[in-house]
Chains A and B, each alone.
Chain A
Amino acid sequence: MAWETVIGLEIHAQLATKSKIFSGASTAYGAEPNTQACAVDLALPGVLPVLNKEAVRMAVKFGLALDAIVPSRSVFARKNYFYPDLPQGYQISQFDLPIVANGHLDITLENGDTKRIGVTRAHLEQDAGKSLHEDFHGLTGIDLNRAGTPLLEIVSEPDIRNAKEAVAYMKKIHALVQYLHICDGNMAEGSFRCDANVSVRPLGQEEFGTRTEIKNLNSFRFVERAINYEVERQIDLLESGGEVVQETRLFDSDKGETRSMRSKEEANDYRYFPCPDLLPVEITEELLNEVRETLPELPDAKRQRFISEFGLSEKDASEISANRDIAEYFEQVATGSGEAKMAANWIMGDLSAHLNKEDMAISNCPVSAQTLTVLIQRITDKTISGKIAKDIFPDLWAGEADVDALIESKGLKQITDTGAIEAMIAEVLAQNPSQVEEFRAGKEKLMGFFVGQVMKASKGKANPGQVNEILRKLLKA
């Protein structure tokens, strides 16, 4: 039987505020355990939550970017469950009146087609703390630094049909929240993670199959692997006459499989009710307009502009526009050097290779956009060859900022003097009489050999175009 997969994602994006959603404790990552958990985060008696303005603005910004509805009124609710890393005994979240509703996002499929994925809602909520199960004499250790960190939970419609689409959608949301500067997108630190609701149904059937929820996927690769495993598991189960049980599952990345998380089963009755500690949140027209003013050019618009304005290919434009800092860096270099294609190649090539190697963001890149601009200019004005530019890039990475001084001090200026090049070529030809004979007898392939020898003799400084031209002339002579 042919099966169709149905997937919906719930993405948790940690909002990049300085303080928590309901308290004035810091949200900085990596602090000593419990040094950033104040009385409100610990839910000590008598405390009251006070909502963080910036968290609200960030959620609104996301809503506007998605072309969603941001209602004038939204309400916080209590989601009740017991777990030691949740001192309140409930999570303050939103239920029937979320801050963002009815948005959508277009993803690009592998065949180049565009598909629209509905975003049902996005709501504000507080994160829980962390349980450490290493052995503390048979006890569990609790770190509440993360408790109360603001989260935006972004819920998609069940519009996704396979793991690849899920990853494309997740990547797009990931790029978007970083563009908006509302989330740092750091998946290793848990700032961006997702739960996947997965079900299968016979192709053509209207009704959804029973779904399972895979919790806490914190990398794109895990999302793809977990979904593929889960789809196969459900199909096998159904084809062998079994039934899918609605449950929460965990993805074990070592074994590459999902397994049931039984402990959560009975807790699945959250008894939501409006949080009496918080009043309804009013989103005024004024606030909407104010936030609208701060919206940057979004990834899709940027990609289109990079294609039309700079002549980049669809593929290059997509890659460069996916990260706002890279896009801005590119635009500076492309505009400054007037060589957009070269700028894109350098950024996706040598620059990215160095950044990846040192696991560094472009915002910390030691080679400034200005420096790369000058380097490209020196290639286009023929001061140095592309090869030499690649050779000196590591020096620029190591902190040398003055491209011209570096070319000067290393004596790398390209040789464009025809006489000098002719002299070098004459020497190479004199040293390789048999190859010259073979070439003249018709073995044209040897051209590459001669160019190589001349470039070597010039220590890479001869202008390759001129070398080719003069070589051809002298060999044919």
Chain B
Amino acid sequence: MSLTADEVRKIAYLARLSIQEENIQTYADKLSGILDLVAQMEAVGTDQVEPMAHPQHMTQRLREDVVTESNQRDKFQAIAPATEAGLYLVPKVIE
């Protein structure tokens, strides 16, 4: 399976990665190589194998529903580029 240059551009856009036009073919080749490997693995019979959601054979530990965090807004906002009235400020986004 091989990816087209357009598909690489789309993937880069979705991940908000800035890539150089001259590198796109290299990315396309390398990513296609990964997909080829996946395709090759698909030939292995896995009917009896439970799909793995995590490499560790453990289940999720659960936390009691207790509030343990206190307000540390001042500390967090000290490292934010811009804040006002307790809010983090970001470039304008409009729905």
Contact = CB atoms under 8 A, between A and B. Distances in A.
A50 B61 contact: yes
Contacts of A18: 65-67
Interface in A276-310: 276, 278-282
Given A51-B60, A263-B95, A279-B60, A132 B67 contact: no
Interface stretch (A137-145, A367-375, A394-402, A460-468): A137-145
A138 B15 CA distance: 26
Interface in B42-71: 53-54, 56, 58-69, 71
Nearest to A17: B65
A26 B77 CA distance: 18
Contacts of B72: 38-39
Interface string A230-263: 0000000000000000000010000000000101
A131 B93 contact: yes
A329 B12 CA distance: 59
Q: Is the interface of A mostly helix, strand, loop or mixed?
A: loop
A36 B86 CA distance: 11
Interface string B2-29: 0000000010011110000000000000
B89 A281 contact: no
Contact of B85 (A56, A141, A266): A141
Interface residues of B, number: 38
| Interface size grouping (class) on chain A | 35 or more
Contacts of A3: none
A26 B69 contact: yes
A35 B86 contact: yes
Interface in A5-27: 17-19, 23-26
A19 B66 contact: yes
A84 B76 CA distance: 16
Contacts of B41: none
Interface stretch (A75-83, A172-180, A358-366): A75-83
In this complex, the member of B14, B63, B76 whose beta carbon has the largest number of chain A beta carbons within 10 angstroms is B63
A97 interface: yes
B64 A136 contact: no
Interface string A75-104: 100001011100000000000010000000
A141 B59 contact: no
Contact of A140 (B14, B71, B77, B90): B90
A33 interface: yes
Contact of A24 (B13, B68, B77, B86): B68
A84 B90 contact: yes
A271 B59 contact: no
A55 interface: yes
Given A34-B86, A97-B53, A52 B63 contact: yes
A368 B91 CA distance: 53
B77 A139 contact: no
B69 A24 contact: yes
Contact of B54 (A26, A33, A56, A276): A276
Contact of A136 (B59, B62, B89): B89
Given A19-B65, A35-B73, 11 more contacts: A18-B67, A24-B69, A34-B86, A38-B72, A55-B65, A133-B95, A143-B87, A261-B95, A278-B60, A280-B59, A281-B59
Interface of A: 17-19, 23-26, 32-39, 42, 44, 50-56, 73, 75, 80, 82-84, 97, 131-133, 136, 138-144, 250, 261, 263, 266-267, 269, 271, 274, 276, 278-282
29 contacts: A18-B67, A19-B63, A19-B65, A25-B67, A34-B73, A34-B76, A34-B86, A34-B87, A35-B86, A44-B76, A52-B62, A55-B65, A75-B53, A97-B53, A133-B93, A133-B95, A136-B89, A139-B90, A140-B93, A141-B87, A141-B89, A142-B88, A250-B95, A269-B10, A274-B53, A279-B61, A280-B59, A280-B60, A282-B60
- Give the top 8 A-B pairs by smallest Cβ distance, nearest first: A24-B68, A141-B87, A54-B65, A53-B62, A33-B86, A282-B59, A38-B69, A279-B60
